[in-house]
Structure 1
Amino acid sequence: MKRAKIKKEEPESKVRKREYSGEDEIPDRIPVEIVTDKGKEFYNAQIQRLFKFHHIRHYTPKTELKAAMVERANRTLKTRLAKYMTFSNSHRYIDALPAIVFGINHTVNRGIGKKPVQVSNGEFIGDTVRISKLRKTFDKGYEKGFSEELFKISDILPSNPVTYRLKDLKDEPIDGKFYEQELTRYTESTDVFKVEKILAKRRVKGKRQCLVRWYGYPPEFDSWVNESELHAI
């Protein structure tokens, strides 16, 4: 972690000089991947050249959860920093920062029931989840009640923080990456699927069936169900 400088670019010659001279004391442990918002301090030619030079993958999740996610993480870090500075009777925390971050990563996260460092690829793959209502943007061509629709975790990315890829129940990949705070685990035994409307009716082998539009789901999920399985709630 390093103090961010002002949001402006430097001349090409100066950037190249800094890259090769080690003026900024590039640490021995260079990150493999960096997740940021769309701020100009990250999306400018200078920083992008630096990422490319050090082979760092840089991306911004397609999400509008920015405030909730970042503020929660910042609050956790600020709380620990405040405790440290009170205990040490000093406002200097940079030397203790690695140990503080280590502590956060090795503390059980209530959302996933594990320490962040214990999360590994494949551990939750296949789990069924809902998307938080804080999530606003999807590239799925259907924008209605996403918190009602169910999704499957298809991949877990070892980024920091951990992010997830999803697919719908028809195995169609969902664009973007999701934070743990954006997902709520689905418990089958306690849920009921809501019907938005009945589109048609028919009789098959003496049984009455209804073609239903499921609440919060796109039209491709319309399906026939026995009328006896529908209940008023």
Structure 2
Amino acid sequence: MADVQADLADFQALSRKNSGNRYLLLAVDVLSRRMFSAPVKSKKPADMKRAFEELFGQMPKLPETLYTDRGLEFVAKPLKEFYAEKGIKKFETSLKKKAAVAERAIRTLKTRLYKYFSAKNTSTWVDVLAEFLAAINNSVCRATGLKPNDIDEQNAREVWKKVYGEAIEPSSKGPKIKLGENVRIPEPKHIFEKGYMPNYSDHVYTVDERRSSKPEHYFLKDYYGTKLKRKFYLPELTKVKVDKNTLYRVEKKYKERMRDGQKEMLVKFIGFLEKYWVTSDDFVEQ
């Protein structure tokens, strides 16, 4: 259990039929896609801690890292202290980005539960939750080609290679990406965007730290020197060469001026805080 994502599923409308449980805390092991869950009565720290205790008790071992959104139910001080006591590294996604694997798992579980509600003319889920999770965890996952319950420490490396490719294998010629090199990272597509290729960040990041443990991973910093909290694996990074010919997309044009006979425009580039004056020769219309 290396990386785990967690999120809350909302069942407030059905709480009376489910012993007062208004939410379902769902966690997913990112590699195996194995799901774990616990009912939750409220978003109060005491109830969330109790649910996490139950959820962690279902896992073969505690996760190394836990990813959630920035909801107060996940980042309140008592919860932060709880994660620290467990030795779990806790990270939050940005406001615009959800814990995608956990969110997708919730959709899968809810779809199955509501089909069950319709077929059985019921709205009770707490009594059948374990049964549904067992069925999902014992079904072959398209991403890995295996049942989540069949993935463990013995075959995790092979599963990783199958899902993310051979590129993460250490090379005898040295690391594929070195400290100080520039990279772009994938940006999740908008929910209505089509296509299977990832969007890559406009912002160019610098490799700040490299860890050679298997699988090899990296930590990055942005243009302003701020370090990103999460780790990145090699398949997520695209190395870029930054020079005078590097193109940056413009977010907004503010005004124009003439300087020394040359037309200039004040612009803000996507991913940057400051505005910059650029000459018309440097501005490429696409």
TM-score (norm 1): 0.51
Deviation string, structure 1 residues 91-130 (Cα, Å, up to 9, x no partner): xx65x733221322455834x8223899x99944333233
In structure 1, what is the equivalent of residue 153 of structure 2? 98
In structure 1, what is the equivalent of residue 164 of structure 2? 109
Structure with higher RCO (Cα < 8 A, 6+ apart): 1
Is the counterpart of residue 228 in structure 1 residue 270 in structure 2? no
- Sequence identity of aligned pairs in percent? 14
2:68/2:93 contact within 8 Å kept: no
- Report the Cα offset of residue 168 of structure 1: 2.7
Is the counterpart of residue 125 in structure 1 residue 156 in structure 2? no
CA distance in structure 1 between the partners assigned to 2:242 and 2:205 by the alignment: 13
Judged with a 3 Å threshold, the aligned counterparts in structure 2 of structure 1 residues 80 and 187 are, in CA distance, closer, same or farther, namely: farther
Q: How many residues align?
A: 191
Calculate the aligned-residue CA RMSD, in Å. 5.5
Deviation string, structure 1 residues 135-182 (Cα, Å, up to 9, x no partner): 89xxxxxxxxx93332223234679987654333233x1554254476
Match of 2:207 among 153, 157, 161: 153
In structure 2, what is the equivalent of residue 203 of structure 1? 259
CA distance in structure 2 between the partners assigned to 1:106 and 1:33 by the alignment: 20
CA distance in structure 2 between the partners assigned to 1:231 and 1:37 by the alignment: 39
Match of 1:80 among 111, 126, 146: 146
Given residue 80 of structure 1, which amino acid in structure 2 is its aligned partner?
L
CA distance in structure 1 between the partners assigned to 2:67 and 2:93 by the alignment: 11
TM-score (norm 2): 0.43
CA distance in structure 1 between the partners assigned to 2:171 and 2:79 by the alignment: 32
CA distance in structure 2 between the partners assigned to 1:133 and 1:203 by the alignment: 37
Is the counterpart of residue 169 in structure 1 residue 223 in structure 2? yes
Given residue 147 of structure 2, which amino acid in structure 1 is its aligned partner?
L
2:202/2:271 contact within 8 Å kept: yes
CA distance in structure 2 between the partners assigned to 1:167 and 1:212 by the alignment: 26
Deviation string, structure 1 residues 58-82 (Cα, Å, up to 9, x no partner): 313324252258869x6544x1338
- Report the Cα offset of residue 47 of structure 1: 11
In structure 2, what is the equivalent of residue 66 of structure 1? 99
CA distance in structure 1 between the partners assigned to 2:258 and 2:187 by the alignment: 35
| Structure 1 counterpart SS, 2:248 | coil
1:30-69 pair list within 5 angstroms: 33-37=64-68, 52=85, 56-63=87-94, 64-68=97-101
1:15-26 pair list within 5 angstroms: none
Query: Can you give the 5+ residue segments of structure 1 that lack an aligned partner in the other structure?
Result: 16-23, 83-92, 137-145
Query: Can you give the 5+ residue segments of structure 2 that lack an aligned partner in the other structure?
Result: 2-33, 41-46, 106-140, 191-199
- Report the Cα offset of residue 213 of structure 1: 0.8
Given residue 199 of structure 1, which amino acid in structure 2 is its aligned partner?
K
